[in-house]
Amino acid sequence: MRKSKRIFIICMIGAVFFLSGCSERKEKQVEITVMHGWGSTEMDHKEMQKIYSDFQNKYPDISLNLIAMPTGKEMVERAEDRILVGDLPDVIFCGDAGKESLYQFMIENELALDLMPYIKEDKELLHSIAPSSMEYWKTKDGKLYTVSDVLMLGGGYWYNEEIFREAGITSIPETWEEFYSACQKIQTWSETANKDVMPLGPTVEGYLYITDQMLAKNRGRGSVAISQNKVPMSQSEICTVLEQQKELWHYTKPLSKEYSYRDETDLFNDGKLAMYINGIWGAFMIDETLPASYALLPFGEGAEIACESAGLGYLLGNNRELKNESNASIKFLKYMLSKEVQERILLKTGQMPANPQITIEQYSEKMPRFCQAATEVKQADIKIQVPANLWNSAQMHIFEEYLPVFFQEEMSGEVFFQLLERNGQNRLKK
């Protein structure tokens, strides 16, 4: 009886210590708030939700408070509201939005965590970051406040192989003169065969890609091109490019504010467009039965030009007094850049992984269209930034609002330039 009592007491003491240990472990659990507006489709959001959930499973000592928004823009607005009331999120995925607002504000007010000290101490983290992230986003004083988990590869167009063949186009245009000629052939064939097919129908964003390619072309192969705001653009250069695009506009449908890349995608899938200006991510938007391939916009001079960029990605909150939260945020970033997660992002969302250790060649059988497009971009001789990195949001709005007006000859190129200059923070020069 006495022995049983001793055993009972010992068991009770053990249980107390066990429960106290559990309680202690629970208290040590770190909570981080992650805000994201990842992707542009419902499928993207669902897949990313799964990936984030798996982080929680891998790190049970970290509690993930996920706040999801439909778009990067909405997410940035929500993050700004929280910061203004003193509630700094631990991780914010910008989705290429907020470059002039949230990003600058957090840096100027020391609210963004400098990633370089962590990168210098962790070779695994260093080797998982895209070189273009380092090249573009590293500040003059050697700090890095943002890293993206995907790359933006573009600067080209998808073309309908069957339409090209029927229109008598036997090779990919290498100069803008050849490109105009191809557009004319398609238009003539369409009218003759009564096919109701337009050569192309770019959105304003598509015209921005064309603008940047033409600016780089006009500067010549040996120039610095137009990367990272280093080269001011003159009034004469802008006006020349705008006039060059007028010829293209004659082969397209009239622009309207309502016209979007989804409309352009639908027209291409319906066989109403011969060319579809978009990045390689368009591979998964195109009808699988359509005979489509990817080509780069012309440059000439025996060279090819494309866009390869890392956009504004993850911003980590600089919670100075919460070291555990900062370390947990770094773990989250490493997780998103890991080979395992990067492969899932590629296969499930059709986005180009940022981790340079992921090679696309091994996926050529699973994703032939995507890999063909990615290879075209990767092999280009000259690389420039995508429009979102070259123009600020106000300037991009100028294009959206006034490019159709210019095409309809209701605005001069000089006035268009003045609007760009006024919103360009002195990047443009007369």
Instruction: For residue range 55-86, list pLDDT tens digits in order.
Output: 989 999 999 999 888 877 888 899 999 999 99
pLDDT digits (tens, 9 = 90+) for 365-394: 999 999 999 999 999 988 888 888 888 888
Looking at the predicted structure, is the pLDDT value of residue 323 above 80? no
Beta pairing partners, 276: 158
First to last CA, the chain: 100
- Residue 190's pLDDT is what? 97
Does residue 97 or residue 245 have the better pLDDT? 245
Where in the chain is CATH 3.40.190.10? 28-152+310-359, 154-307+367-422
- Overall average pLDDT of the 164-185 stretch: 96
Query: What's the token pair of residue 428?
Result: 């443009």
Name the residue among 33, 91, 86, 32 with its Cα closest to residue 317: 91
What single-letter DSSP state applies at residue 103? Answer: I
Name the residue among 207, 163, 206 with its Cα closest to residue 186: 163
- Residue 80's pLDDT is what? 92
Contact between 253 and 198 (Cβ < 8 Å) = yes
pLDDT digits (tens, 9 = 90+) for 226-242: 554 444 578 898 999 99
Looking at the predicted structure, is the pLDDT value of residue 1 above 50? no
Contact between 58 and 50 (Cβ < 8 Å) = no
Name the residue among 149, 95, 151, 152 with its Cα closest to residue 338: 149
Q: How confident is the model at residue 18 (pLDDT cuts 50, 70, 90)?
A: very low
Q: How confident is the model at residue 17 (pLDDT cuts 50, 70, 90)?
A: very low
Give the Cα separation of 196 and 364 in Å (integer): 34
Residues contacting residue 59 through CB under 8 Å, at least 6 positions apart: 328, 331, 335
DSSP string covering 308-357: EE--S-EEEB--TT-HHHHHHHHHHHHHHHSHHHHHHHHHHH-PEES-TT
Name the residue among 294, 295, 308, 265 with its Cα closest to residue 178: 295
Query: Residue 142 corresponds to which amino acid?
Result: G
Q: Domain 154-307+367-422 has what CATH class?
A: alpha beta
pLDDT digits (tens, 9 = 90+) for 408-421: 999 999 999 999 98
The shares of helix, strand and coil residues in the chain, as percent rounded to the nearest 5, are: 50, 15, 35
Looking at every residue in the chain, the average pLDDT score rounds to: 86
pLDDT above 70 as % of the chain: 87
Does residue 202 or residue 38 have the better pLDDT? 202
Write down the pTM of the prediction: 0.86
Map tokens 């100069």 to a residue: 175
Name the residue among 300, 387, 428, 370 with its Cα closest to residue 99: 387
Name the residue among 58, 78, 102, 143 with its Cα closest to residue 328: 58
Angle at CA 343, nearest 5°, toward 358 and 56? 125
- Residue 191's pLDDT is what? 96
Name the residue among 27, 20, 116, 124 with its Cα closest to residue 335: 124
Orientation angle between helical segments 323-337 and 42-58, nearest 10 degrees: 120
Does residue 161 sit in helix, strand or coil?
Answer: helix
H and E: helices and strands count for the chain:
18, 13
CB-neighbour burial class of residue 2 (10 A; exposed 0-12, middle 13-18, buried 19+): exposed
Query: What's the token pair of residue 76?
Result: 């940035």
Give the Cα separation of 314 and 338 in Å (integer): 15
Name the residue among 292, 288, 285, 332 with its Cα closest to residue 313: 332
Contact between 94 and 103 (Cβ < 8 Å) = yes
What single-letter DSSP state applies at residue 281? Answer: G
Give the Cα separation of 154 and 96 in Å (integer): 15
Angle at CA 303, nearest 5°, toward 301 and 304? 130
Domain 28-152+310-359 has CATH 1.10.3210.10: no
Contact between 377 and 158 (Cβ < 8 Å) = no
Contact between 395 and 325 (Cβ < 8 Å) = no
Backbone angles phi, psi at 379, to 5 degrees: -85, -5
Give the Cα separation of 172 and 299 in Å (integer): 12
